[in-house]
Structure 1
Amino acid sequence: MQIDSFHWKKSQPLAEDYVAGSEAVRALYPHHFASAASWETRVKWLDEAAGRPQADREQLVQVLRTYNERIGNHDQAFASIAALHDAKTLAIVGGQQAGLFGGQLLVLYKAITLIQAAREWSGKLGRSVVPIFWIAGEDHDFDEVNHLFALTQAQQIEKIKIDHPTGQRTSVSRLPVSPEAWEEALTALDHTLMDTEFKEALLGKLRASVEQGATLSDAFARWMAMLFGEYGLVLIDSDEPALRKLEAGLFEQLIVRNEELAQALAASKEAVVAAGYGAQADIQDNGANLFVFAHGQRLLLHREDGVYTDRKGTVRFTPEELRERALREPESFSNNVMTRPLMQDYLFPVLATVLGPGEIAYWSLTKEAFERFGLQMPIVLPRMEFTLIEGTIKKQMDKYDFSLNDVIERYEQKKQAWLDEQDTLRLPERFEQVKAIFRDSYQPLVESLGSINSGVKKLGDTNMAKILEQIDYLQHKASEAHQTQFDSAIRQLERVRLTIIPFAKPQERVYNGCAYLNRYGDGWLHALLDTPIPVDGVHRVFYL
């Protein structure tokens, strides 16, 4: 197995600087993952912070056990859950939306990071540290998770999707997907995947994940359990009703102290901006940073004239009515991106949280809120990043002398340079010579026509421009004809580009993992799980 490190600049400057340990970001996070002292401090705080707000550990264990039984998780996951009975057990936690058939590759990498980090720190601390994957089933953006992209043999990026089943703006975990819709998606995936020795088993497992009227969240959880349960990965849906009951206490505090929450978020935003960065999330002075479920919808609340209401005025609650509702019906509440980090720390003994670049950036806005509510931001661990390069792709890159940086930074220039090297006729140079000779000889003649009259001079200018245009046209056609001699090479280079930077984005942010599992089985996934790889924020290239 060959894995190379590669510096791929992160999409968020704040995340890039955080990983690098830049002085500018140190005040925005209480810990840094590369500091041994930070880990010691976090462990000590978790062990000694008497009276900190936290959910009942035994009830949490029961909720986790029940949920993981329902999704058919592995025995090792139940061993992880059992370990949480011990107050000394800690957790590495991270989450993602419930994407179709596992979502993008980065979701798999987040799970791998959780497992790698939990294993590493269990060994270093000499105590149990369990990996927990928090599924953001409460999110309502169905169009963000209802599809996947796969690169076909015809070099087309194909989109496979499930249509919204109801049209209602409610949590993904509450939207039923019909058996017919699941079958249509599976059939589309089947047609996209090439025939291999692994295909039948892969499709069989996916079909099992969508049985019994599964929602996208259900199917996602079952699939992730199939892939990672044997490594002890515990799964939980953020919208699980039984989990909501454990959250009631913090929901109540977030309502009672809602203005204080807004002030804390605004203070952190000021610190982020003062450090020279843009705020990754929109912070509203009157935002409640909580959703409520009503009339079949997930509605974002804000404070207006002493009451809580949504943008369209569908619901209205006094502070006391909302507080009572949180205690009586906590399952009717939902967090937003600013309160979910607090709820995660309230529920779990979070040693560290695994985040992608965008998440690292918006978590910087929560530092003050953590402190105001008697919590402490956990250690922020950057999610592992990988680019998978197959053997044929590597051979083509070597054949045409393309480095990974060439593909990412200067693909078109490099491709054109290679084509130019094949041009023994020196077409660009010779056409430029012809145009220069023509201009040099024709321009003086046109200028002299002005002595006759301006109309003839203007006609001469137009004539010269048309002749140059025709020469350019011939050059373009000659270049096209010349390139057809290298159609095979161009197709190979295009396959390289589409593999590494589809839609001009990192591969991991576009493609689904099923195509790779279909071509190579799950051996490559186990290799990434079983091989100790530092969780250091460095992008890595994995040669399949």
Structure 2
Amino acid sequence: MREESYSLPSAQPLTEAYIRREDERVAALYGYHAGAEEDWETRLKQLGQNSSKRADAAQLARVLRAYNEAAHAAPEVFDSIAAIASGAPVVVGGQQAGLWTGPLLVIHKAVSIIGAAKSASKQLGQTVVPVFWIAGEDHDWDEANHAYVITTEQELRKLSAARPDGGRTSVSRTRIEDDKWDQLLEELEQALPSSEFKPVMLEELRQMSRRARSLSDFFASILSHLFGKHGLVLLDADDAEIRQLEAPMFKTIIERNDELERSYQYSAGQIKELGYALQADVTSGSANLFIFNTANGEERTLLHKKDDVFQDRKGLLSLTKSELLSVAEEQPTRLSNNVLTRPIMQDYLFPVLATVLGPGEIAYWALTGEAFRTLGMEMPIIVPRMSYSLIEGTVAKHMDKYELSFGDVMTCFEERKGQWLKQQDGLSIEEQFAEARESFEEQYKPLLALATSVQPSLAKLGDTNLQKIIEQINYMSAKTVDAFNKQFEASTRQLDRIHLSIKPLGKPQERVLNMTAYWNRYSLSWLEKLLEAPYSRTGGHEIVYL
């Protein structure tokens, strides 16, 4: 299998400093480092010493078993769950549910979780279970409801589902009816090119949709289908049974809310002092918890504190600490974590050896270190997720034809495209027009001086006349170049296909394209190539040729 690596900057200075160990001061924000083998041994030992502080492993396994059965999990998944019941450590990572899994980076996250768990199992000589945390409690519908695919006409098309009527509740609680699934699958069928694998893929997706009440359900079924044989365990953060297990930690977060707030502010101050920007809001008076407001269609509402009372921003919903503690004990399904308390909850549920995070996540997890310590816990090992670019055979052939490297496409595509077209111009069209323009200006200037000497007021008219003639020469030059370039429309389409495939919307492929395009063309062989590609605990970008 042909592969190569490429350095793809993350645009997150704090993340880069952690991964590359370029700033030794950053180490204190995270504790462990994914690239240090001894840290994996140390973290495993620490997990064994603190098992009594976590949720009951047998009860957690029971909940996971029921959820994964509903997602039609493979036998390997239930082997993983049995290991969790016996106290096995896990590597966990997650993402919000997206339509047909959303952008490719979601697939890359799952591949990275599996890779990290295998790597840790090999080093430690024991089972380490891969776990995917579906952030079904999130309520950002516009982030979850769409998928981008490249059509038969080599155009990028966005397929999306409108939010059903009702409050802004979680994605997992937003019901999708069967006719909407049918409509979306019909749109997908029309958008994707014909292939030998298309009918089977669509039928499998159709069967999954029949048992899906929400985007999260559909998401779980697809991940189960794609990664079940690799033992990837799934959970939905908004699962009612999971919420019951989380009740004790919700109570702790409420009881020690002021301490936690000071912890987040302390870490935020450290990060700023080191010269890095914050990647999550640390707001004074925030409880860092959401509540599902039953009086408003289960709208997911962020809680704030004022005089020991928890309320929404407008003060329309108000609960005393005692009342909120009762909610945590009796109705934990009404509570939900935010980005700063979710890491703590994750570590309470599981013996988390390591967590796989994207660049932005690594940056904001730096805010949680002091909060972990405040609760007598410890941040797990932070593992940067791998990223990949899938290069199809036709695209690779075109890249060779036009002598384009992957780096050229990512950094200077338009320039290289323009250079190639210019090289085809044996007539030197632009140069000839430039020479004519310069020659005209030289001959016209003495005439302009002559006119001005006869009548000074003609100077302005002469300048205007000169500019109009120059504009007409430039216009004719551009039209001639366009006419010439039309001879190379086939080449232009090939060049544009390269860019669309590798850097759609001017972004890395993984942030835009949906995996159904590759499933449609290659069945699941493309996924196997990702799983077989080189893996690194410190992340990286691999180019995988299909």
TM range (shorter): over 0.9
Aligned counterpart, 1:245: 244
Aligned counterpart, 1:115: 114
CA contact (8 A) 1:263 1:285 kept: no
Whether 1:321 and 2:306 are equivalent positions in the alignment is no
Whether 1:141 and 2:140 are equivalent positions in the alignment is yes
User: How many residues of Structure 1 are paired with residues of Structure 2 in the alignment?
Assistant: 542
Aligned counterpart, 2:79: 79
Secondary structure at 1:280 match in 2: coil
What residue identity is the alignment partner of 1:462? Answer: T
Secondary structure at 2:210 match in 1: coil
Aligned counterpart, 1:370: 372
Instruction: Give the whole-Å Cα distance in 1 for the aligned partners of 2:91 and 2:349.
Output: 12
What residue identity is the alignment partner of 1:125? Answer: L
What residue identity is the alignment partner of 2:433? Answer: F
Shift of 1:532: 5.5
Whether 1:429 and 2:428 are equivalent positions in the alignment is no
Shift of 1:70: 1.5
Secondary structure at 1:454 match in 2: coil
Instruction: Give the whole-Å Cα distance in 1 for the aligned partners of 2:51 and 2:94.
Output: 27
Q: Identity of counterpart residues, as a percentage? A: 46
Deviates more, 1:513-522 or 1:160-169: 160-169
Instruction: Give the whole-Å Cα distance in 1 for the aligned partners of 2:531 and 2:406.
Output: 24
Aligned counterpart, 2:50: 49
Secondary structure at 1:291 match in 2: strand
Aligned counterpart, 2:531: 529
Shift of 1:530: 4.3
Instruction: Give the whole-Å Cα distance in 1 for the aligned partners of 2:285 and 2:79.
Output: 44
Aligned counterpart, 2:255: 256
Instruction: Give the whole-Å Cα distance in 2 for the aligned partners of 1:518 and 1:171.
Output: 30
Instruction: Give the whole-Å Cα distance in 2 for the aligned partners of 1:185 and 1:255.
Output: 41
Whether 1:456 and 2:468 are equivalent positions in the alignment is no
Aligned counterpart, 1:175: 174
CA contact (8 A) 1:280 1:358 kept: yes
What residue identity is the alignment partner of 1:96? Answer: Q
Cα offsets for 1:109-159 (capped at 9, x unmatched): 111111111112112111110000000000001111111000112121111
Secondary structure at 2:4 match in 1: strand
Shift of 1:61: 0.9
Instruction: Give the whole-Å Cα distance in 2 for the aligned partners of 1:212 and 1:186.
Output: 15
Instruction: Give the whole-Å Cα distance in 2 for the aligned partners of 1:213 and 1:205.
Output: 13
Shift of 1:536: 2.9
Shift of 1:192: 1.2
Matched ranges for 1:532-543 at <5 A: 533-543=535-545
What residue identity is the alignment partner of 1:516? Answer: Y
Shift of 1:449: 2.4
CA contact (8 A) 2:389 2:509 kept: yes
Aligned counterpart, 2:481: 479
What residue identity is the alignment partner of 2:274? Answer: A
Aligned counterpart, 2:332: 330
What residue identity is the alignment partner of 1:184? Answer: Q
Cα offsets for 1:414-458 (capped at 9, x unmatched): 111111111111111111111111111211321232222232121
Whether 1:92 and 2:94 are equivalent positions in the alignment is no
CA contact (8 A) 1:77 1:231 kept: yes
Matched ranges for 1:47-446 at <5 A: 47-49=48-50, 53-87=53-87, 89-294=88-293, 295=295, 296-446=298-448
Aligned counterpart, 1:37: 38
TM-score when scaled to structure 1? 0.98
Cα offsets for 1:16-56 (capped at 9, x unmatched): 222212224222211110011221221121112365x3111
Cα distance, 1:236–1:213 mapped onto 2, change above 3 Å: closer
Secondary structure at 1:160 match in 2: strand
Shift of 1:531: 5.2
> RMSD over aligned Cα, in angstroms?
1.3
Whether 1:2 and 2:2 are equivalent positions in the alignment is yes
CA contact (8 A) 1:73 1:226 kept: yes
Secondary structure at 1:10 match in 2: coil
What residue identity is the alignment partner of 1:328? Answer: E
Shift of 1:535: 3.3
Shift of 1:305: 3.2
CA contact (8 A) 2:51 2:351 kept: no
Unaligned runs of 5+ in 1: none
Instruction: Give the whole-Å Cα distance in 2 for the aligned partners of 1:49 and 1:85.
Output: 16
What residue identity is the alignment partner of 2:516? Answer: C
What residue identity is the alignment partner of 1:85? Answer: A
Unaligned runs of 5+ in 2: none
Instruction: Give the whole-Å Cα distance in 1 for the aligned partners of 2:533 and 2:410.
Output: 27
CA contact (8 A) 1:116 1:532 kept: no
Secondary structure at 1:84 match in 2: helix
Instruction: Give the whole-Å Cα distance in 2 for the aligned partners of 1:454 and 1:168.
Output: 73
CA contact (8 A) 2:146 2:161 kept: yes
Instruction: Give the whole-Å Cα distance in 2 for the aligned partners of 1:454 and 1:233.
Output: 84
CA contact (8 A) 1:166 1:175 kept: no
Secondary structure at 1:273 match in 2: helix
Question: Structure 1 runs of 4+ off > 6 angstroms?
Answer: none
Instruction: Give the whole-Å Cα distance in 1 for the aligned partners of 2:534 and 2:483.
Output: 51
What residue identity is the alignment partner of 1:186? Answer: L
Instruction: Give the whole-Å Cα distance in 2 for the aligned partners of 1:322 and 1:214.
Output: 30
TM-score when scaled to structure 2? 0.97
CA contact (8 A) 1:76 1:231 kept: yes
Cα offsets for 1:330-385 (capped at 9, x unmatched): 11100011110110001001000001111111111111111111111101111110
What residue identity is the alignment partner of 2:321? Answer: P
